[in-house]
Structure 1
Amino acid sequence: MRHIVCLVFLSVPVFSWGLNTAYVSFQHPEGWQCELSQGVWICQSNIPDDRKEAVILSIAAEATKWDTLENYETYLKKPRRIADDTGRGVLSKIVYTRKRTINGYEWVDSLQQNSELPGFWARYLATVYKTKTSNLAILITYIVSNERYSTISPALERMIASLKPRADFDINVASKQGEEVLPGNTVLGQMQKSIASRLKPPTPVDQIEQKPTGKGVDTGLIVALIAIGGAYVYIRRRRKLQEKVRSGKNLTPPAA
């Protein structure tokens, strides 16, 4: 069975403003905090108005045969069509998708616009990290609104430059954390089913030469994208609510 790795927050951070999980460490923007929700780290600003404008998400899973840098690059090079709030289709814009080395480790790095939410930028960093006990698929994603991209992106670029997988990662230890109730909200769990069909293409690996085999084998990065998609939807709902409240309408907040 493939493990979605539920990550351990260590007591001593690597940076003054950073996240140090069981599998990766990075420096998030100053004044942000991170929360673990069902195996996904969600990092956001402590300022309420900024929380709806940007988010960093971090997830890891035991790698399958599909999980290779080549497959990640192929998948992330394909534009995606999503629906806006009126149901109108919006085609994503891929600025670049390329391999790059960060602190001695090779990642696939992709910057896209409108790939998850209309009016938002998304940056994907994906790698397969080989440890003594297993191969680990890691996905770090940030999403930022068009309005705040120019001001927030420099801090997020520093975050990317600080990415470093943990050499002492042990999936046999980390995966056991999934047997316990995780701290944080349950947004991802509630939203995952509703957004799965939109995020997962009908034939995600048809044109990929290296295909997974066997029953119940996951399609790697796609599973991670589905898992984090609920957070994007939640941010959009909160943002729309904030705008309506500012307009003077009396509204009941959407259920989390």
Structure 2
Amino acid sequence: MNRLLYFLIILIITSFVIPVSAQVQKPILKTKTFKTDFISFNLSDQWECKMDGTEYVCRPTDKIKKSDAIIIVAAKIPGAEDNVKAYYTYLKEPKKMTDYRGQTFTSQVSLIKYKDIEATQWVDAIHLSSEVKDFYTRYLATVKNGIAILVTYSVSKSKNALYAAELNKMASSIKVLAKAPQLGGPPKPPEKKEMPHPPPTPPIKGGEQQPTQPPAKIIINQPKK
């Protein structure tokens, strides 16, 4: 009888201790605020953002994870055809891309919609293989306060589940600030109908490409013929 009572006591104690221990060991995702003259958003403190030309590029700080995902923030003075309707029209269509080997592929459109984030209407689109083959790329584009803004993030298809939660939180926290950016001096009339990005880098070992440089050119305001 004493042994049975002892067993029950141990069982009750264990049932409380294990869940509490598991909860204590669960990592807590810490965030920080990334802010420019024209935009801000919350991002994991395991990422870092740097200016690259006229764009901001954000990557994981872990060297092993740098090839998994990348965030690009670009802005320009809008032209006559820069508006959310034109962006929607362009991003709803699959994109044909050519990689560094000369092989062409067509993206798959997973999502296209208008999305309100912090009192601003954005075009929200997700493509597979639109910038780098086998990478998901999410596009968030808008025009507000005299500036056209494009926020994109690309993540490897095989690692998408690992980054989905934190990248979705980042996207949901985007705020457009009133002050227009100073992109290399006083604003000039737009000459190009695109937001340029350097081409993707060659594949790493194992055949998978890594976005260690910003994705290829993203044209978001080209009118349909």
TM-score when scaled to structure 2? Answer: 0.72
- Distance in 2, matches of 1:101 and 1:170, equals 20
- Distance in 1, matches of 2:89 and 2:70, equals 25
* CA deviation after TM superposition for structure 1 residue 162, in Å: 0.3
What secondary structure does 1:158 align onto? helix
Q: Compared with structure 1, are the counterparts of its residues 37 and 86 closer, same or farther at alpha carbon in structure 2 (3 Å cutoff)?
A: closer
Aligned to 2:212: none
- Distance in 2, matches of 1:17 and 1:80, equals 34
* CA deviation after TM superposition for structure 1 residue 16, in Å: 4.3
Residues 1-256 of structure 1: matches in 2 within 5 Å? 16-84=31-99, 86-130=101-145, 135-167=146-178, 169-171=179-181, 174-175=182-183, 178=184, 217-219=191-193, 223-224=194-195, 227-228=196-197, 230=198, 233-234=200-201, 237=202, 240-243=203-206
- Distance in 2, matches of 1:16 and 1:83, equals 36
What are the superposed Cα offsets for residues 193-239 of structure 1, whole Å, 9 maximum, x if unpaired? Answer: xxxxxxxxxxxxxxxxxxxxxx97432xxx11xx23x2x613xx3xx
The root-mean-square deviation of aligned C-alpha atoms, in Å, is 2.0
- Distance in 2, matches of 1:217 and 1:39, equals 15
Q: Is the 8 A contact 1:56 1:142 kept in 2?
A: yes
The amino acid of 2:104's aligned partner reads: G
What secondary structure does 1:149 align onto? helix
* CA deviation after TM superposition for structure 1 residue 101, in Å: 0.3
What are the superposed Cα offsets for residues 145-191 of structure 1, whole Å, 9 maximum, x if unpaired? Answer: 11111110111000000000012x045xx24xx25xxxxxxxxxxxx
The amino acid of 2:108's aligned partner reads: K
- Distance in 1, matches of 2:54 and 2:165, equals 27
The amino acid of 1:218's aligned partner reads: K
The runs of 5 or more residues in structure 1 that have no matched partner are 1-14, 180-214, 245-256
- Distance in 2, matches of 1:117 and 1:146, equals 10
- Distance in 2, matches of 1:141 and 1:170, equals 19
Q: Is the 8 A contact 1:17 1:31 kept in 2?
A: no
Aligned to 2:17: none
Q: How many residue pairs were aligned?
A: 175
Q: Is the 8 A contact 1:42 1:55 kept in 2?
A: yes
What are the superposed Cα offsets for residues 79-99 of structure 1, whole Å, 9 maximum, x if unpaired? Answer: 112234653321100012111
What are the superposed Cα offsets for residues 74-122 of structure 1, whole Å, 9 maximum, x if unpaired? Answer: 0111111223465332110001211110011100000110111111000
- Distance in 2, matches of 1:103 and 1:90, equals 35
Larger helix fraction of residues: 1
Q: Compared with structure 1, are the counterparts of its residues 34 and 242 closer, same or farther at alpha carbon in structure 2 (3 Å cutoff)?
A: farther
Q: Which of the two has higher C-alpha Rg?
A: 2
The amino acid of 1:62's aligned partner reads: I
- Distance in 2, matches of 1:61 and 1:84, equals 26
- Distance in 2, matches of 1:54 and 1:159, equals 13
What secondary structure does 2:65 align onto? helix
Q: Is the 8 A contact 2:31 2:44 kept in 1?
A: no
The amino acid of 1:140's aligned partner reads: V
TM-score when scaled to structure 1? Answer: 0.64
Q: Is the 8 A contact 1:123 1:142 kept in 2?
A: yes
